[in-house]
Structure 1
Amino acid sequence: MFTLEIAGKAVAITNADEDQARELFTSEEFREDVKSFTSEGKPLWDGSAAFNVRRASDEEIEAFDDAMAEDEEDWDDEEDGDDEETGIDVMFLVAIDEMDDADEAQDEP
């Protein structure tokens, strides 16, 4: 597993291999997304701080595994497996302000 650091702060983790992680985290689409996100009211990325992709720490891996286990339980409840097609998951290690709230509200009947 690999972690993305922005300006020395661990921001996201993925279960992709190293090449896939570097490609994902440095893609223009991911950078644009990260630039639009805020954490605790502050931009996650200022558009210029360095991105560093490194091996994930044991603590980061444990947090990822715990979150994926919870997510898997939720998917089992919903019986929807669309994310299983790619096999690559990304989890943010920082709280993202209102990232999913609007999406979840739109999905509810």
Structure 2
Amino acid sequence: MEGYRARYVVPGKFAPLKHFMVGVFALAFGLETYHHHKYHGHDDAGAAGGAGAGEEEKKPVTAASARERAAPELDTVQREVEELGARVRAMRAEMMGRE
């Protein structure tokens, strides 16, 4: 530590601050990378064959198949939009009646 102090810690020098900033960046980048891969690296049992499924029973899940499974029917969405529109019109009519 004394060697570092003798070499870099001089009033008015930017080096200690630069070393600190680089160290914080390296630590933050490493931690973020580790936790990002830890979060996204887990095995999603629900999407690939259910909980407790053996490795040989699991099938790879593609983005297209996951999107197709999660996508609701167009008729259902259209019906929900119409119901919401009717509710909004009823609320507006109620608010106009109060004024």
Q: What TM-score do the two structures reach when normalised by structure 1?
A: 0.23
Counting helix residues as a fraction of each chain, which structure ranks higher? Answer: 2
Counting strand residues as a fraction of each chain, which structure ranks higher? Answer: 1
Larger radius of gyration: 2
